[in-house]
């Protein structure tokens, strides 16, 4: 993908999430089942970096469940971060920061050098192009503490006939299919006004290729969410050959709390 095209798609999503922050947040008042499945396994006192934290619902869920560690939430939308910051503080230590994951130095102002868990729920599919994906994943790997874990989810919107019917032609934003990558789509929004978002449909093979190219091993995969249970593809990654035993405390485990 040409850099100019990628920048146009990034700008489109910036405009969307700033313009529709309120209506979007209203549709995100509870976490998806797949996210809850992961959160129940997070170590109680881990250092967690939440990429694309949105309205802060994930942090509120963690805090109410007794999480006591450090939490840092990043998002590029000032409007969504304002919503996140309006809620009262919960147990543990939380910080919300504005950061654009499409920028090379998005991590420049992180308060911690490394994190036990890095989360990217419903984030990667809004970032255009393999080059950007690999650059982001390399930075994520560098920010993981020894034995740390990266968890992601990718929206499987094509598994929903209702959502697939909302795909729009690239000509609506002055592009054509030859300027974007396979799996790239333009999706409309119909709550609180009419808007457009760039989205990418990942499959397991593409995510495997990205993991391998960026020095990760996929240790778990499952589908969840939506009426059919197939609207979210979840994967758990760890750096390849990190040399730590499986019982290292930074790893996901089955110690539930809350």
Query: Mind listing the pLDDT tens digit for each residue in 140-157?
Result: 999 999 999 999 999 999
256 belongs to a structural domain: no
Choose the weakest-confidence range: 134-143, 156-165, 192-201, 232-241. 192-201
Q: Are 201 and 158 in contact (CB under 8 A)?
A: yes
Residue 254 within a domain: no
How many residues comprise the chain? 258
| Mean pLDDT of all residues belonging to the chain | 86
The answer to whether residue 150 is domain-embedded is: yes
Residue 8 lies in a domain: yes
Single out the residue of 116, 90, 53, 88 nearest to residue 258, CA to CA.
90
pLDDT for the residue 27: 58
d(CA 69, CA 48): 8
Structure tokens at 224: 């969840």
DSSP 2: -
Q: What angle do CA 205, 234, 200 make, to 5 degrees?
A: 60
Q: How many domains does the chain have?
A: 1
pLDDT classification of 19: cutoffs 50, 70, 90:
confident
Model-level pTM?
A: 0.89
Quote the domain boundaries for residue 161: 3-26+45-175+205-239
Nearest to 219 by CA among 123, 156, 150: 150
Report the C-alpha gap between 233 and 210 in whole angstroms: 15
Query: Per-residue pLDDT averaged across 235-253, rounded?
Result: 61
Asked whether the beta carbons of 98 and 76 are under 8 A apart, the reply is yes
DSSP string, 239-252: ETT----TT-TTS-
| pLDDT value for 37 | 94
User: Best-predicted range by mean pLDDT among 26-40, 93-107, 191-205?
Assistant: 93-107
Query: Domain of 228: which CATH number?
Result: 3.40.50.150
Tell me which of 66-75, 96-105, 243-252 is least confident.
243-252
Residue with tokens 């449909």: 201
What is d(CA 235, CA 137) in angstroms, rounded to the nearest whole number? 14
Going by pLDDT thresholds of 50, 70 and 90, the confidence category of residue 250 is very low
In a domain, 197, yes or no: no
Is 139 among the domain residues? yes
* Cα distance from N-terminal residue to C-terminal residue, the chain: 45
Taken in order 124, 68, 89, 98, the sign of the CA dihedral is negative
Domain-located, residue 192: no
Is residue 115 a part of any domain in this protein? Answer: yes
Residue carrying the six token digits 């990418």: 200
Structural tokens at position 186: 């333009």
Alpha-helix residue ranges (DSSP H) falling in the chain: 3-19, 21-26, 33-39, 57-64, 78-85, 130-142, 161-164, 204-213
């Amino acid at each position: 993908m040409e850099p100019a095209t990628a920048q146009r798609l990034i700008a489109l999503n910036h405009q969307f999430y700033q313009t529709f922050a309120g209506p979007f947040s209203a549709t995100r008042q509870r976490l998806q089942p797949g996210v809850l499945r992961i959160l129940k396994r997070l170590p109680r006192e881990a250092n967690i970096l939440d990429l694309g934290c949105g309205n802060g619902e994930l942090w509120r869920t963690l805090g109410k469940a007794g999480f006591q560690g450090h939490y840092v939430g990043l998002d590029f939308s000032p409007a969504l971060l304002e919503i996140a910051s309006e809620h009262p503080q919960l147990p543990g230590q939380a910080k919300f920061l504005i950061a654009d994951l499409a920028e090379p130095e998005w991590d420049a102002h992180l308060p911690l050098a490394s994190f036990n868990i890095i989360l990217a729920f419903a984030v990667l599919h809004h970032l255009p192009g393999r080059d950007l994906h690999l650059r982001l994943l390399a930075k994520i790997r560098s920010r993981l503490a020894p034995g740390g874990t990266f968890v992601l989810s990718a929206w499987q919107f094509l598994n929903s006939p209702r959502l697939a019917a909302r795909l729009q032609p690239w000509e609506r934003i002055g592009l054509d299919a030859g300027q974007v990558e396979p799996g790239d789509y333009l999706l409309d929004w119909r709550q609180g006004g009419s808007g457009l978002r760039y989205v990418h449909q990942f499959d397991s093979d593409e995510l495997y290729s990205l993991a391998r190219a960026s020095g990760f091993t996929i240790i778990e995969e499952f589908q969840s969410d939506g009426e059919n249970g197939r609207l979210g593809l979840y994967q758990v990654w760890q750096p390849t050959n990190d040399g730590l035993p499986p019982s290292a405390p930074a790893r996901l485990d089955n110690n539930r709390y809350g």
